[in-house]
Amino acid sequence: MGDTAICIQGLGKRYRLGTVTKAYDTLRDTITEVISRMGKGSAQKSVDKSRYIWALRDLDLSIKQGEVLGIIGRNGAGKSTLLKILSRITSPTKGRVEIKGRVGTLLEVGTGFHPELTGRENIFLNGAILGMTRADIRKKFDEIVAFAEVEKFLDTPIKRYSSGMYVRLAFSVAAHLDPEILIVDEVLAVGDIAFQKKCLGKMGDVASSGRTVLFVSHNIGAITKLCKTALLLDKGSLVISGNTDNVVEQYLKQTEISVAEVSRNVKPESRVGFERIWVTNSKGETSPEIEVNSHFTINILLNVQKKVLNVDISVLIESIRGTKVCFTSLSDLNGGDILPLEPGRRHCKIQIPGRFLIPDTYRLLVEAHVPMVMKEDYCTDLSIAIVDTKATQTYTSDAWQYGCVIGNFKWDMETFSPDSK
Amino acid sequence: MSTDRAESTAKTLVIQPPKGWIGLDIGELWAYRELLFFLIVRDIKVKYKQTFLGIAWAVLQPLTYTIVFSLFFGRLAKIPSEGQPYGLFSFTALILWTYFQTALNFTSTSLVSNNQLISKIYFPRLLLPTGASLAALVDLLITLALLMIILPIYGVPITLRLLWALPFIVLAVLTALGAGMFLSAINVKYRDVQYTMPFLAQLWLFLSPVVYPSSMVPEGLRFLYGLNPMVAVIEGFKWAVLPDMNFPSVPMMTISATIILSLFVGGAYYFRRMEKEFADVV
């Protein structure tokens, strides 16, 4: 009777690059490929290696029963691949995993929801997909409905639901899943802040009830709050595991590399997405390092694919230590009311003044969202370093200890005389 | 509840790279039977949502085909119908054919249209084509009900003999599912399949005894013709439903049954073999 819930040995997963970048092959591609390979003979084999990528390599890990483990790492570190292997969605290329106990997976909220079906029908369908039995769902049905606050709309097709109701219902079903081992991906990222709080609360309940939880998140605050232990992945390999504080510290060191430009593909189905986000300094050059005294600009190349009335674009500046500094959004342009966006590409520029942020590394969280309801697109990859190149003595290397922003206030000093007011 | 948990805790799940041919794991399929049920219910409920004609669509297709075929093949081309009224002859064949075509189409796209599910959650993937082939049976039930109305009109009494149609319906399901398991697995990687489907179905229709009796096929080609499993299925179905028809020859029946069985078993194993890649490729 060992108390190990999950034992991972030498786990590796290799992807073919083609399958990652291309949506799918056509028969013609394969035929031409096979023919060209035949022509070149076996020499091709060595070249082929470069077309593979190890998303996860040689991972050894043992997770105790009741352990709440946070998994962190930058994009492409292999976090999601690990979760997908553990939940049997994809199979490993190498290694072995032993799992004791029923596994519940939550990689996405509302998996399998069908817009044409009613709330009631979707609860049963989604519950069955998540692995609940019909008896289980029936027993928890009232609880699920009450938690989601959708009593009145149970027999309405969910395509008529507001986005908020949809997300609430989806999360509610998932929250009532009762597995021994819970695997959760960044599902919290889909909702607004109130929703995220509700999720975190529920996650906390699950964690404290003695179940084994594996939790992936970019939200370092959530990880430190929920998990006693954590592991850090980078480029598919384990960097460090153990006490959450140590792991987080390591992660922060690693992420202190600034990224001034992010280009991405907008998904064809999304209404609004970011094509490119980049930071320019006061001279207009793209740069991740900004002089503390000069202003800089956050540029967002927005692709509106469908007309939207309720989507706002916002930027949250957060220090690498997790302190939120400030928030600004496109609706500020319009006195707080959201501007309707017509289809087309737009360039948004947000100018941040000099002598505002204290020298430190900051993350820029850019979001296109329906406020308090859902995210259309978001990007958490951008980070900049505010540096003090002139070495003004006020801002030492640990300037962050003095707050987040520079107290740019007017000081006066004059000789005090008892007569003056 | 607690005993249940203790039991499942004792069970250890091992995840390893899959090698070679994988067993079907019928036990696991059985454990997921409720999900299969919900997937079928979903497909049925969703199919005619927000349509004006609703389930009438199920009837419309075989009915219009019957009218068109009766006109062109029955009246103009004077194709024989083994002593049956041509309309009844072709309608009977068409309802089973329509099921087959719908099921084949539905099954072969079942993985791609459920790609969200496949990439986000684990369940035995075989449930998807299986569910699709079974969900299509609802249309068949509706058209069969219509057949029960039409038969007396043509003076054919409704007797227990009609139950002989059941084994042929089962064979049609197995054929659609067998071919569907191959096609759906290929379609995950090569979307060419879904573009080929309408064309393939059309071709297959004319290679099956739907608009003409198989007796029209020259004796020498019968064996080759019998390699199409739907020949025996449709001939058998017509024999069960219509009076005074000849039972399909035993050799032809044996060939067809063997082909259907190999298609089914082969399809299932091929599907299981390709399954490990689905989530990465779909």
What is the reported pLDDT for A43? 43
Identify the top-confidence range among A46-55, A193-202, B48-57, B105-114.
Answer: B105-114
β-sheet bridge partners, residue A377: A368
Amino acid A22: pLDDT: 45
pLDDT of residue B178 exceeding 70: yes
B114-171 tens-digit pLDDT:
988 998 889 999 999 999 999 999 999 999 999 999 999 988 888 888 999 999 999 9
Nearest Cα of chain A lies from the Cα of B60 at a distance, in angstroms, of: 23
Mutate to test the interface with A, among B4, B19, B34, B50 (most CBs of A within 10 A): B34
Give the separation between CA A137 and CA A160, rounded to whole angstroms. Answer: 23
pLDDT band at A50 (very low <50, low <70, confident <90, very high): low
pLDDT for B14 equals 87
- A338, A346 in Cβ contact below 8 A? no
pLDDT higher than 50, residue B4: no
pLDDT at A106 over 90: no
Q: Residue B7: closest CA among chain A residues belongs to which residue?
A: A101
- Please check whether residue A368 is in contact with residue A306, taking contact to mean a CB–CB distance below 8 angstroms: no
* Cβ contacts of B268-272, under 8 Å, gap ≥ 24: B268/B24, B268/B126, B268/B178, B268/B181, B269/B21, B269/B22, B269/B24, B270/B181, B270/B182, B270/B185, B271/B125, B271/B126, B271/B129, B271/B181, B271/B182, B271/B184, B271/B185, B272/B21, B272/B22, B272/B23, B272/B24, B272/B25, B272/B126
What is the pLDDT, as a whole number, of residue B175?
Answer: 96
DSSP code per residue over A302-328: EEE-S-BSS-EEEEEEEETTS-EEEEE
Amino acid at A366: V
More confident residue, B21 or A183: A183
Q: What is the Cα–Cα distance from A385 to A364, expressed in whole angstroms? A: 11
Q: How far is B119 from chain A (nearest CA, A)?
A: 7
List the structure tokens of A147. 């938690």
Task: Give the residue-averaged pLDDT of A211-221.
Answer: 81
CB-CB neighbours of A387 under 10 Å: 17
Measured distance CA(B40)–CA(A71) in Å, rounded: 37
Average pLDDT, integer, range A108-125: 88
Rounded mean pLDDT, A138-144: 92
Pick A41 or A229 by higher pLDDT. Answer: A229
The proportion of chain B whose per-residue pLDDT surpasses 90, expressed as a percent, equals 44
Which stretch of A81-85, B9-13, B58-62 has the lowest confidence by average pLDDT? B9-13
What whole-number distance in Å separates Cα of residue A59 and Cα of residue A9?
6
Looking at the predicted structure, is the pLDDT value of residue A285 above 70?
yes
Model pTM score: 0.73
**Higher pLDDT pick, B169 / B63:** B169
**CA angle, residues A9, B117, A123, in degrees to nearest 5:** 115
Chain A CA closest to residue B114: A112
Arithmetic mean of pLDDT, B211-220: 85
pLDDT at A399: 65
Q: What pLDDT is attached to residue B2?
A: 35
If you average pLDDT over every residue of chain A, what do you get? Answer: 82
All residues of chain A having their beta carbon less than 8 Å from the beta carbon of residue B116 are 108, 111-112
Cβ distance A95 to B14 less than 8 Å, yes or no, reads: no
Q: How much is the pLDDT for B3?
A: 35
Q: Which of A23-27, A68-72, A250-254, B276-280 has the lowest mean pLDDT?
A: A23-27
- pLDDT digits 0-9 by tens, B68-113: 888 888 888 888 888 888 889 999 999 999 999 999 999 999 999 9
String of DSSP letters for B96-146: HHHHHHHHHHHHHTHHHHTHHHHHH--S-TTHHHHHHHHHTHHHHHHHHHH
Contacts of B18 in chain A (CB under 8 A): 91
**Interface residue of B5, B121, B282 to substitute, partner A, most A CBs within 10 Å:** B121
Using CB atoms, pick whichever of B119, B188, B191 lies closest to residue A26.
B191
CB B89 within 8 A of CB B81: yes
Total Cβ atoms within 10 A of residue A79: 25
Tell me: pLDDT of B53 over 90.
no
Residue A272 in this model has a pLDDT that exceeds 50: yes
